[in-house]
Structure 1
Amino acid sequence: MDHWLTALKGSRVLVTGGAGLIGSALRRTLETAAASVTVLDNLSGYDRATLALLGVDDHDPSLKVGDICDEDLVRVLVDESDYVIHAAAYSTVAGCTRDPATAFHSNIAGTETVLRAVARSRHVRRFAFISSAQVYGHGTAGSDAVQVFSEDQPYSPLNLYAAAKAWGEWQTRFLLGSAQVDHVVLRPFSVYGEGQIPKPGAYSWVIAQFAMYATIGQRLPLNNGGRQVRDFLHVEDVATAICRALTADTASGKTINLGTGRVTPVRRVAELVRAHFPDAQFQDAPRPAQDPLGGCADIACMTEVLGWEPQITVENGIARYVEWLRAVPAAIPDWLRSERDRIASWNGAPVPRSAAEDR
């Protein structure tokens, strides 16, 4: 049995943002390890019907519906926890750009509230801050080069979301380092998997978008001919990596990329989706502003510290997503079903807003 499974058995773990894609997978993985999980989430990420599809039950006693800026609530939940995983965020680039006030409330003020509660706690064994590969931006070689991103290269955030994640990393090290509270910073690359549902204006979730477009008979739009590359990491592998980072002795104080170390062109994703939908057609589309060519994670630190590598290939992950979508076609949001001109939105036309806007 893996060491992390036995190490987490019986422990109390608080997951902020636990109703989201990564948070939901974390909960399932932690429960496999027989940990006691508490989820703090304001349930703003999706409407109730979509949350129900994702398995979120309002009446679940382990779900605490609340705001991460609520100091009293956060302090109580942190004081009852052995480990804290901070995954809550207003989490799309487009959402943060459209609504910077909410982005500040969630990604800066909320993170500060959680960190201060952890710094005061006498029970937390380790805090995990879920950052993002977005902090690398175009990297050190510019937007037109495929790169390998390593943890020691400088920040280069291109948007409010990425800048907030970079700040959260620094604040984690500063506050918890000063308080001598064990912590780890984790940078997932392009996360995907069953349960991922696109939000209006969020262009990065290409596997989910392509599968949904193919399901409803729309063309698969290839920005820049699909030459951009990404390091796609299945959400179950993300959850396993985070759980390992909670208990690995050598993870203390580290910043760790979470990725596969392999690049997959967006055109390859479209081809893999079309293998399940033979009638699907491609359509060339312009390259969105500030969209980097991309790259992959340097995973040397991850493999050494966590003693582990991802298990789910992008081929198998896409097949799993398609199977899930066919089983729950209601997961395709109404705004995407009615969308007829995706390219117009890339050229500056307004995008539709859902009842529950980006979290």
Structure 2
Amino acid sequence: MPGPLWSEDAPLPIASPGWIPAAKKATEAYAAASGVDAVSVRLAAIWGPLGRPDSPFVALPRLVHGAARGTVPDRPAYAEDGIDLCHVEDCARGIALVQTAERLAHRTYNVGGGRVVRDAEVADAIRAARPDAALPLLAGRTPGAPDADAHLDLGRITADTGYRPVHDIRPRIAAYLDWLDGHPR
């Protein structure tokens, strides 16, 4: 697995790229500082049916939606960009396992895919399902992007709940494209 692991013990960085991650960080910090008995989950990039067609964080939705519509996405993706992706069904199962665990040893759990998925892998999965899809992939990485892609450490949630991601990207992208065919946006 390339890149560093993001552990739940790692301190949260102060800076946030938007209000959603800022709110998550503030809530987690408030619970820790106030003594509120709460458990937090830190989520990877979630994708799948009913997700946003254009995410500011990940190229997968715009590439899949473009392939389903037969259009070229308005923003290209870079082949070597990568992120920890988690299919929505794995995400829901991970959260449910944390919520229903008989006992939890920690107050913070990562829920994710546990590996970096590059945009080139996403494009390959789309092409396997839709060979004619127009996928504008640029070589390399987004200018200014960090050199190493991090992914979530799933050791804690696996040990405490048995969670493991089960949805492989290739068949789930094909299923997502089929779902979009029946639910056009």
SS of match in other structure, 2:136: strand
* Conservation of the 8 A alpha-carbon contact between 2:41 and 2:108: yes
Structure 2 gap ranges (5+): none
Deviation beyond 4 Å, 4+ runs, structure 1 = 288-293
The answer to whether structure 1 residue 282 and structure 2 residue 141 are counterparts is: no
* Conservation of the 8 A alpha-carbon contact between 2:105 and 2:160: no
* Conservation of the 8 A alpha-carbon contact between 2:79 and 2:118: yes
The residue number in structure 2 matching 1:248 is 101
The answer to whether structure 1 residue 155 and structure 2 residue 12 are counterparts is: yes
| Cα separation, partners in 2 of 1:278 and 1:214, compared to 1, 3 Å | same
SS of match in other structure, 1:257: strand
The residue number in structure 2 matching 1:196 is 51
Query: How far apart are residue 206 of structure 1 and its match?
Result: 2.6
Partners of 1:160 and 1:168 in 2: how far apart? 15
Partners of 2:81 and 2:76 in 1: how far apart? 9
Query: How far apart are residue 287 of structure 1 and its match?
Result: 2.0
Relative contact order higher in (CA < 8 Å, ≥ 6 apart): 2
The one-letter code sitting in structure 1 at the alignment partner of 2:135 is: F
What are the within-5 Å matches in structure 2 for residues 154-303 of structure 1?
Answer: 154-156=11-13, 157-161=15-19, 162-175=21-34, 177-178=35-36, 181=37, 183-199=38-54, 202-219=55-72, 222-223=76-77, 225-251=78-104, 253-285=106-138, 287=142, 294-303=149-158
The answer to whether structure 1 residue 311 and structure 2 residue 166 are counterparts is: yes
| Cα separation, partners in 2 of 1:284 and 1:272, compared to 1, 3 Å | closer
Structure 1 gap ranges (5+): 1-144, 332-359
The residue number in structure 2 matching 1:107 is none
* Conservation of the 8 A alpha-carbon contact between 2:84 and 2:112: yes
SS of match in other structure, 1:268: helix
* Conservation of the 8 A alpha-carbon contact between 2:63 and 2:135: no
Partners of 2:147 and 2:47 in 1: how far apart? 19
Partners of 2:63 and 2:135 in 1: how far apart? 10
* Conservation of the 8 A alpha-carbon contact between 1:185 and 1:256: yes
Query: How far apart are residue 148 of structure 1 and its match?
Result: 1.6
Structure with a larger share of its residues in helix: 1
Query: How far apart are residue 219 of structure 1 and its match?
Result: 3.2
Query: How far apart are residue 284 of structure 1 and its match?
Result: 4.2
| Cα separation, partners in 2 of 1:159 and 1:192, compared to 1, 3 Å | same
Query: How far apart are residue 289 of structure 1 and its match?
Result: 5.7
Query: How far apart are residue 173 of structure 1 and its match?
Result: 2.4
What are the within-5 Å matches in structure 2 for residues 3-14 of structure 1?
Answer: none
Query: How far apart are residue 146 of structure 1 and its match?
Result: 2.5
* Conservation of the 8 A alpha-carbon contact between 1:185 and 1:253: no
TM-score, normalised relative to structure 2: 0.83
Partners of 1:320 and 1:217 in 2: how far apart? 16
SS of match in other structure, 1:231: strand
Query: How far apart are residue 290 of structure 1 and its match?
Result: 5.6
Partners of 2:23 and 2:144 in 1: how far apart? 20
The one-letter code sitting in structure 1 at the alignment partner of 2:151 is: C
The one-letter code sitting in structure 2 at the alignment partner of 1:147 is: P
Partners of 1:203 and 1:150 in 2: how far apart? 23
Partners of 1:163 and 1:328 in 2: how far apart? 32
TM-score, normalised relative to structure 1: 0.45
Partners of 2:181 and 2:146 in 1: how far apart? 30
* Conservation of the 8 A alpha-carbon contact between 2:58 and 2:83: no
| Overall identity of the aligned pairs, in % | 27
1:197-241 CA-to-partner distances (Å, cap 9, x unmatched) read 325xx3334322111112333335543x32111221111111111
